[in-house]
Amino acid sequence: DREDEKKRVEDLGGSIQFIGTYRVNGILAVTRAIGDADHKPFISSEPEITVVNLEGNEDFLILACDGVWDVMSPAR
């Protein structure tokens, strides 16, 4: 669903296809990963970083890959 990632892959000569989910060159369902060297340069190992300022009253912080949210709801 990310046009910027789709453009990055296509600018490198790859393609994004929808096969049940969006896939790079019809195979991988991610555009960023550690490993998957066979799919370079279309799969980037450069992390996407988000900075979140905490207020100090949080009980916990969940760090998870996108695949977790495919099988688990935020309420769980």
Residue type, 6: K
Round to whole Å and give the CA distance between 65 and 11. Answer: 25
- Residue-range domain boundaries for the chain: 3-70
Round to whole Å and give the CA distance between 31 and 22. Answer: 10
What pLDDT, in 10s, does the model give residues 11-65? 999 999 999 999 999 999 989 988 888 899 999 999 888 898 999 999 988 888 7
Mean pLDDT of 5-14: 96
Round to whole Å and give the CA distance between 29 and 36. Answer: 12
> What count of residues does the chain have?
76
Q: What is the pTM of this model?
A: 0.68
Whether residue 42 contacts residue 24, with contact meaning beta carbons closer than 8 Å, is answered with yes
